[in-house]
Copies of this chain bind each other. A is one copy, B any other.
Amino acid sequence: MANSASGDSVVDRVVRVIEAFPEGADALPLSELAERSGLPLSTAHRLVRQLAGHGLLELGAGGNVRLGLRFWELVSRNSPALALRQAAMPFMEDIQQVLKQNVNLGVLEGWEVLFVERLSRRGSVANRARVAGRMPVHISSAGLALMAHQTPALQAEYLTQFHDPAGKVTAGVVRQMLAETRRQGFAELAGVVDPDTWGIAVPVLDGGRRAVAALGVVVPLAEVRLQALVPALQTAARGIGRQLADLSEFRSTESV
């Protein structure tokens, strides 16, 4: 920009600032924010002040910066995420009541699962899925349930670019898992995320039988009762799908 050759626009920089917040850290010093976003201190300072002027960021005591409630409000109130959540919540509560287990709801974002909602039963097993957190498709039951019910083209693309950093899983294995998931109508993953837990998820299908979300539970390995779990999940998932079709004409015009 003016007087500089950074090669990115103001919008890019604003986005960079927002993205610079590391997951989980609610406040961080300006200098760190500048460094993390790769911006000169002056520039970061100016942008932060402008955003703070609109309430999107809040300036704490010692110049710490954090996201503002106003920002959350603006983005949440019209987000497809909230619409989906709204439609799913009652069903998720039912599941939680009946099965007494952790429930979560995820969507496909890029090549990962983005968890939109989670209900944790106190005293139940740990649930790695965090709200607004991500997980790789191939190591989450929700991910498998989602990917198994995408268009063949998208699945092919996914498998092509697939690469397990740990190097333990090959694209072929994932392909088989997806096929199995599709055949069964639900995804199961034992002891992968956590050694003592079992993840089970079913797809929430839209009119075209494409998965727009996945509904899953995390249960202790000891007490797996597939016969009871799966039908309940599937029923709930259908309910969610119907709700989406009815209420808000929820479309998932994904552009990977």
Contact = CB atoms under 8 A, between A and B. Distances in A.
B75 A76 contact: yes
19 contacts: A10-B10, A11-B14, A11-B50, A11-B51, A12-B50, A15-B51, A15-B56, A18-B74, A25-B78, A26-B78, A58-B255, A67-B78, A69-B81, A71-B75, A72-B81, A72-B82, A76-B76, A89-B119, A93-B119
A19 interface: yes
Contacts of A149: none
Nearest to A54: B15
A120 B94 CA distance: 12
A67 B79 contact: yes
A155 B12 CA distance: 40
Interface of A: 9-12, 14-15, 18-19, 21-26, 47, 50-51, 54, 56, 58-61, 66-67, 69-83, 85-86, 89-90, 93, 107, 109, 114, 119-120, 122, 130-134, 248, 251, 253, 255
Contacts of A26: 78-80, 83, 248
Contact of A109 (B25, B50, B70): B70
A23 B132 contact: no
Contacts of A22: 78
A253 B65 CA distance: 11
A9 B251 CA distance: 34
A219 B158 CA distance: 49
A132 B58 contact: no
A78 B90 contact: no
Contact of A24 (B73, B78, B109, B255): B78
A23 B77 contact: yes
Contact of A73 (B11, B58, B67, B114): B114
A21 B67 contact: no
